[in-house]
């Protein structure tokens, strides 16, 4: 059985759009405890889990001196590395 693709792989395949990724980043910033986020054509991911699984993203979120753009980039990277569930 093939492994589930990452959000980044689905993005490259155009199954998930840039607007979906940007909305996921915005949703995480608004509520870092959010676990269920729907994106693309029937995909679901755990935003809190996605960021929590990437140590660099966690350290960026905790860094009070980090610029907002740097935090957004770290969150975006964590989301792109996540394997969503096809809901």
pLDDT tens readout for residues 62-76:
999 999 999 999 999
- Report the C-alpha gap between 12 and 38 in whole angstroms: 18
Task: Give yes or no for a contact between 44 and 24, defined as CB atoms under 8 angstroms apart.
Answer: no
Q: What is the predicted pLDDT for the residue at 50? A: 94
Query: Residue 2 has what pLDDT?
Result: 59
Domain chopping of the chain, boundaries: 7-86
């Amino acid at each position: 059985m093939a492994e589930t693709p990452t959000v980044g792989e689905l993005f490259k395949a155009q199954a998930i759009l840039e607007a979906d990724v940007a909305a996921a980043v915005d949703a995480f910033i608004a509520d870092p405890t959010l676990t269920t986020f729907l994106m693309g054509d029937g995909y679901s991911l755990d935003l809190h889990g996605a960021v929590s699984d990437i140590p660099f993203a966690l350290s960026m979120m905790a860094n009070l001196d980090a610029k907002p753009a740097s935090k957004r980039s770290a969150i975006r990277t964590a989301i792109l590395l996540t394997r969503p569930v096809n809901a």
